[in-house]
Amino acid sequence: MHLFATHFGTYEVGADASGKPLLLPFRHDPDPSGIGLGYLDLADHPERLRAPMVRRSWLEKGPLGGTGASRGREDFVEVDWDRAAGLIAEELQRVRSAHGNQAIFGGSYGWASAGRFHHAQSQLKRLLNLAGGFTSSVNTYSYGAAGVLLPHILGPGYKDACDTSPSWSDIAENCELIVGFGGFRLTNSQVEAGGTGRHRAVEWLRRSQEKGVRIVVFSPAANDAPAGANVRHVPLRPNTDAAVMIAMCHTLLTEGLFDCDFLRRCTVGFADFESYLIGEADGIAKDAEWASRISGVPAGTIAEIAEELHDQRSLVNVAWSLQRARFGEQPFWAAVTLASMAGHVGERGCGFAFGLTAVNSVGQSVRRLKGPAFEQGVNPVRQFIPVARITELLENPGGRIDYDGRTLELPDIRLVWWAGGNPFHHHQDLNRLAEAFRRPETVIVSENMWTAMARMADIVLPSAFPFERDDVAASSRDNWLVYSRRVMDPPAGVLTDHEAYRLIARKLGLLEAFDENLGIDEWLARIYEGYRDRYPELPDFQAFRLRGFAGLDEDEGAAAPADHFRRFAADPKAAPLATASGRIEIASGTIAGFGYPDIGAHPAWNAPEEWLGAPLASRHRFHLLSPQPAHRLHGQLEYGPASQKAKLRGYERFALSAADAEGLGVREGDLCELYNERGRAIAALTVEDGLMPGVAILPAGGWFRPDADGVDHGGNPNTLTTVTPASHLSQATAPNSCLISIRPWRGPEAGQQRRD
């Protein structure tokens, strides 16, 4: 079978009547994603990169010509591959010898495309490692705050927020009540990093509901609650979930409905938290009335649901989005604490989970394929940043930042190289980021299309689309392996990242070390054989290639990492957690010891600088949330048919409640300007039933397209968001704490074409 693998699933390759290739849903996928069906349309899109390009004044004056200030505002000159490779090799050598390898930033965060071999970051990092290394980045945008917090309170094995969830089969069979903070945005489950053969998260949620599991969803948007009987939506103000959870803990405490035995055997620090709950130090009881004033949820509802969490076999699920906010660690910490008090941690299908339906894999109890990646080698440079501190890194060489108990010194970056990611999609406060990106001497970008990141480069290398190369695709959370076979050749002038880096490696005298004299087929066979070494039941490479896919047997009883909580709850001494105490840390001496101003010893609710209760809300009265886009993957496939169809006259859509639309005097489809001190963005209004007044929703991924006045016609929410971190502990991204104003847009429409 001829298959093509993407992060949003596997597609079959067919042909239309004229013989032109066409993507079709994969026959084994019960719930295929529509995102990829039009992927091939991008092959000859006008925004496609078709040849290496160099920014004119950089080419004329060189990296030391002081032309960084015009980065992003200038035209490019086409060069051939030999020239581009030569310029890059020379520039790498110059920066290395003049400043050292730590002056190269190669963190290059981003999702790139599926495929184990043509993984853009791995290709780049292997090349840079061979050339002496680079300053790197750690953690993710997905769960940056959780990734630093959870090792302290649950152990390093739970660094990956996916791994805390019980399995869907256990949930469906045993759980009676799921209380979901942030709810279930089902369009998110189309995606799985590395791809999948079968989308089944939505089906599992439905099966759980059919088995009688009740669902309560706390969210500013009614859309986050799934359809069906036995679902209750409770609206609340954004960023106030931790207050609600803490008040639920207060209810359980004062009503004596908490599991003393579990708290004593399996947790540490409850006494500290209890003192906070009753307000020993600040005189404020964190009761349901207190949380009601903060969140807008009636006190009676908070108390009622708290009691149900105790009385029924319950699961507290928290969406990852909640920790992509100021004090983002707190809702996760509070959820673990609440579930520990409610007393069902360690029962099958109960306790706590993070991110059910955030991606397809969370809660799937399939046998997981763990296999080799394309080897990146060893990075001799030790300097790194938490991934969301890119702006500070570029702005402030020599500066220091706190991070997880350490002080990091920011190196002086002269050269930035990005492959397979788009900071002008993913990072916050893009106008400030653009200024920061004008500081280094050289910026190199490997891309498929003229993204805003490519426009900010000095040298742009055009990369083949994933359907223009062969690869082996697999996700470490899934049981499918797919042979993703080339659908068409890339246009003349476009290379895969591997081919491009081979040219550069040759100029640097590193070719043999880089490609080990292996052709693509040999690389793919090597990766596949790495899987077979671990799973001998897989067919041989030729058979796999012919069939197009292979997989491990479905086994719904397969162990999930969260199963450890069952053994732990039964006997915490025999099966301790890998935390400082061996138990769940409701209070963490380690975190308290860091002495950070914005995270203390135990879960707490703090008022963010930007939320509906902040003084700033008298000036900017809307809280902007920027969830994941339904019709594309981040900024990818922005020009695909699914994403374009969802727009209005080429503009992104944002949502407001009917009451707010009326108050602003705007109607469905009207263009509006969303603005604050950081930026201005235009989007078309959708009036959304069940959206809380005061909340605006603009999904991420619209391409940043500022006009001459700096007004972004691409509708990227990061034109408005702030780089303020979740906390000094994680330094994680916090786009969901953002206040804006809104007014009708009466300026000219830029339409969907980029300005030139």
Ligand X SMILES: Nc1nc2c(c(=O)[nH]1)N[C@H]1C(S)=C(S)[C@@H](COP(=O)(O)OP(=O)(O)OC[C@H]3O[C@@H](n4cnc5c(=O)[nH]c(N)nc54)[C@H](O)[C@@H]3O)O[C@H]1N2
Residues noted as catalytic: 109, 111
Of 139 and 142, which CB lies nearer to Mo ion in the complex structure?
142
- What is the four-CA torsion angle of 294, 300, 301, 307, rounded to 10 degrees? 120
* Alpha carbon distance 144, 417 (integer Å): 22
Region of 53-61, 188-196, 665-673, 744-752 interacting with ligand X (CB under 6 A): 188-196
Closest contact distance (angstroms) between CB of 356 and ligand X is 9
* Alpha carbon distance 389, 378 (integer Å): 23
Of 143 and 483, which CB lies nearer to Mo ion in the complex structure?
143
CA distances from 387 to 112, 142, 233, 733 (A): 16, 11, 34, 8
Residue 718 site contact among Mo ion, ligand X, none (CB < 5 to 8 Å, cut-off depends on kind): ligand X
257 is a contact residue toward ligand X (CB under 6 A): no
- Write out the two tokens for 576: 């301790």
Closest contact distance (angstroms) between CB of 296 and ligand X is 11
359 is a contact residue toward ligand X (CB under 6 A): yes
* Alpha carbon distance 408, 61 (integer Å): 34
Phi then psi dihedrals of residue 203, to 5 deg: -60, -40
191 is a contact residue toward ligand X (CB under 6 A): yes
Q: Pattern 558-597, binding to ligand X, x per CB under 6 A?
A: ----------------------------------------
Mapping DSSP to helix (H, G, I), strand (E, B) and coil, where does residue 728 land? coil
Mapping DSSP to helix (H, G, I), strand (E, B) and coil, where does residue 403 land? strand
Select from 160, 224, 402, 515 the one that contacts ligand X (CB under 6 A): 224
Select from 36, 386, 717, 725 the one that contacts ligand X (CB under 6 A): 717
Residue 442 site contact among Mo ion, ligand X, none (CB < 5 to 8 Å, cut-off depends on kind): none
Whether 60 and 479 have beta carbons less than 8 Å apart is answered as no
Of 142 and 314, which CB lies nearer to Mo ion in the complex structure?
142
Select from 49, 103, 120, 723 the one that contacts ligand X (CB under 6 A): 120
* Alpha carbon distance 539, 531 (integer Å): 10
- For residues 601-634, one letter each, b for 16 or more C-beta atoms within 10 angstroms of the residue's C-beta and e for the rest, the string is bbbbbbebebbbbbebeeebbbbbbbbbbbbbbb
- Considering only residues 497 to 526 of the shown chain, the ones binding ligand X according to CB under 6 A are 497
Region of 199-207, 219-227, 254-262, 601-609 interacting with ligand X (CB under 6 A): 219-227
Region of 74-82, 180-188, 433-441, 671-679 interacting with ligand X (CB under 6 A): 180-188
Residue 165 site contact among ligand X, Mo ion, none (CB < 5 to 8 Å, cut-off depends on kind): none
Whether 460 and 53 have beta carbons less than 8 Å apart is answered as yes
Of 135 and 142, which CB lies nearer to Mo ion in the complex structure?
142
- Write out the two tokens for 665: 């005097």
Closest contact distance (angstroms) between CB of 359 and ligand X is 5
Beta strand extents in 593-712 (DSSP E only): 622-625, 653-656, 671-676, 679-687, 695-697, 711-712
Neighbouring C-beta atoms of residue 598, cutoff 10 Å: 17
Closest contact distance (angstroms) between CB of 562 and Mo ion is 20
Mapping DSSP to helix (H, G, I), strand (E, B) and coil, where does residue 38 land? helix
* Alpha carbon distance 300, 486 (integer Å): 59
Select from 110, 132, 147, 386 the one that contacts ligand X (CB under 6 A): 110
- Considering only residues 301 to 320 of the shown chain, the ones binding ligand X according to CB under 6 A are 319-320
Residue 305 site contact among ligand X, Mo ion, none (CB < 5 to 8 Å, cut-off depends on kind): none
379 is a contact residue toward ligand X (CB under 6 A): no
Of 441 and 638, which CB lies nearer to Mo ion in the complex structure?
638
Region of 8-16, 140-148, 160-168, 473-481 interacting with Mo ion (CB under 5 A): 140-148
Select from 57, 129, 361, 626 the one that contacts ligand X (CB under 6 A): 626
Closest contact distance (angstroms) between CB of 358 and Mo ion is 8
* Alpha carbon distance 739, 652 (integer Å): 19
How many chain residues touch ligand X (CB under 6 A)? 63
Q: Which CB contacts under 8 angstroms, 24+ apart, belong to 225-232?
A: 225/183, 225/184, 226/183, 226/184, 226/186
67 is a contact residue toward Mo ion (CB under 5 A): no
Closest contact distance (angstroms) between CB of 46 and ligand X is 15
Beta strand extents in 645-716 (DSSP E only): 653-656, 671-676, 679-687, 695-697, 711-712
Of 142 and 361, which CB lies nearer to Mo ion in the complex structure?
142
Closest contact distance (angstroms) between CB of 397 and ligand X is 24
* Alpha carbon distance 430, 533 (integer Å): 45
Specify burial of residue 681 (Cβ count, 10 A radius: 0-12, 13-18, 19+). buried
Crossing angle of helices 241-254 and 270-278, in 10° steps, is 100
The β-bridge relationship of strands 9-15 and 21-25 is antiparallel
Q: How far is CA 419 from the centre of its chain?
A: 17
Of 6 and 588, which CB lies nearer to ligand X in the complex structure?
6
Mapping DSSP to helix (H, G, I), strand (E, B) and coil, where does residue 748 land? coil
Specify burial of residue 13 (Cβ count, 10 A radius: 0-12, 13-18, 19+). buried
142 is a contact residue toward Mo ion (CB under 5 A): yes
CA distances from 411 to 50, 92, 97, 126, 487 (A): 34, 16, 15, 21, 43
Of 249 and 642, which CB lies nearer to ligand X in the complex structure?
642
3-state helix, strand, coil in the chain (%, to 5): 35, 20, 45
425 is a contact residue toward ligand X (CB under 6 A): yes
Select from 132, 343, 421, 679 the one that contacts ligand X (CB under 6 A): 421
Residue 169 site contact among Mo ion, ligand X, none (CB < 5 to 8 Å, cut-off depends on kind): none
116 is a contact residue toward ligand X (CB under 6 A): no
Residue 625 site contact among Mo ion, ligand X, none (CB < 5 to 8 Å, cut-off depends on kind): ligand X
Residue 120 site contact among Mo ion, ligand X, none (CB < 5 to 8 Å, cut-off depends on kind): ligand X
Closest contact distance (angstroms) between CB of 389 and Mo ion is 17
Region of 43-51, 126-134, 234-242, 666-674 interacting with ligand X (CB under 6 A): 234-242
Closest contact distance (angstroms) between CB of 142 and Mo ion is 3
* Alpha carbon distance 358, 506 (integer Å): 42
Of 29 and 259, which CB lies nearer to ligand X in the complex structure?
29
Task: List interacting residues with ligand X (CB under 6 A).
Answer: 110-113, 118, 120, 141-142, 181-182, 185, 187-188, 190-191, 218-221, 224, 236, 238-239, 241, 319-322, 324-325, 355, 358-359, 419-422, 425-426, 446-449, 451, 463, 466, 497, 625-630, 633-636, 700, 717-718, 721, 735-736
Task: List interacting residues with Mo ion (CB under 5 A).
Answer: 142
